[in-house]
Amino acid sequence: MNESTANHSATSRVVVLMAAYDAAATIGEAVRSILDNTLAADLLVIDDCSPRPMAEVLGDLLAAHPERLRVMRMPVNSRQSACLNAGLLEMLPKGYAYVALMDADDIALPERLAEQVAFLDAHPEIGAVGTWMQTFDETTLAPMYVHRHPVDDAGIRQAMYFNSAVVHPSMMVRAEVFRTMGGYNPVLQGAEDYELWRRIQSRWKLANLPRVLLRYRLSSKGQSMAGRRRQLAIRLKVQLIYFRPSAWRAWGGVLLTLMLFLVPMRALLFAKARMWRD
C-alpha cells in the first residue's frame, strides 16, 4: 500500500491526513498551505488510486520536503473513509499527539495548526477542535460565505442533532481519541464524519475556534439531487443511531432531514449563503 512512506517516528507533534482522488489541479496548493503553516507538521497524502498518481503530481514537493511529506497509494479506489482509516492505521503508532484533517482542494491559513495545538494544549478536556471556514467558488475563486458554527461544546451538542456542527477538513483531533474511539465507519459513507463526531461526543468535548482558518473550495455545479438524497439518507441513519426520544432537538433534526429531501440544491445553497452571510 505504501508508495513513498517510510518507517520512522514522528518528526512533529502533529500529522495531517489528506485523502486525495484525481486532485492534480488543486492538491499542490493544499499541500503547500500545510507545509507553509507557522507550526511544522508532518503530512500524509492518501492517494485513492488516482488515474495520475499523486506522488507524481507532488514530485517536486516530495523532493523538497522528504521528512515532512509522504504519499500512500491505496491498491484500489476506496473512498474517503477507507483512505483516512488507512492513514490512521499507518500514522497512529508513530507517536503523534494530534491528527489534523484536510481536503485536497482546500487551503489552510498559516496560523491554523499553531492555534489549534495551543488550544488543545490548554484544554485537555477537549477531544477535537475545528475552526470557522470561508467558502469560495471553485471556478471564479470568489468568496461566498463564512461558516460560523458554535464554539463551545454545549452549543455544538445542540446543533449536532440537526447536522454536523464542525467542519471536517478543519478539525484537529487528539491521537488518543482515535486510539480510544476508533476511526471512520465506511458503512456510513457520506455522513461518516458526522457519525464520528457524535461517537466522540459520548466521551469527549468538541470545540470550534471562532476564527476563519480554512478556505473551503465549493463546487459551483453543486451536488446532484440523487447524490444529495443518498447523503441525507445516511445522515438520517446516523440521527436515528444517536436518537434521544427525550430531546426535542432529536425530533427536530430528524424532521429537518426528512424535509430536506424535497429542497433543491440551488435553494439550499441560497439559504446557506443567507444564513452565513457577513
Domain boundaries of the chain, sorted by first residue:
1-105
Question: What type of residue sits at position 106?
Answer: D
Reported confidence tier of residue 7, pLDDT bands at 50, 70, 90 = very low
pTM: 0.89
Reported confidence tier of residue 277, pLDDT bands at 50, 70, 90 = low
Cell of 266: 440551488
Residue 223 has pLDDT above 90, yes or no: no
Find all residues with CB under 8 Å of 160, minimum gap 6, and list them.
194, 197, 198, 201
* pLDDT at residue 8, rounded to an integer: 43
Residue 81 has pLDDT above 90, yes or no: yes
Question: Which range, of 3-7, 49-53, 73-77, 172-176, averages the lowest pLDDT?
Answer: 3-7
Residue 239 has pLDDT above 80, yes or no: yes
* pLDDT at residue 3, rounded to an integer: 44
Residue 36 has pLDDT above 90, yes or no: yes
Percent of the chain with pLDDT strictly greater than 70? 88
Cell of 117: 495545538
Spatial separation of the C-alpha atoms in residues 119 and 141, rounded to whole Å: 30
Residue 222 has pLDDT above 70, yes or no: no
Return the CATH superfamily for domain 1-105: Spore Coat Polysaccharide Biosynthesis Protein SpsA; Chain A (3.90.550.10)
More confident position, 150 or 145: 150
8-state DSSP, 222: -
C-alpha to C-alpha distances, 174 to 14, 84, 92, nearest whole angstrom: 9, 15, 10
Question: What type of residue sits at position 50?
Answer: S
Exposed e or buried b for every residue in 37-69, given b needs 16+ CB within 10 A?
Answer: bebbbbbbbbbbebeebbbebbeebbeebeebb
pLDDT tens digits for range 137-149: 888 888 888 989 9
* pLDDT at residue 274, rounded to an integer: 60
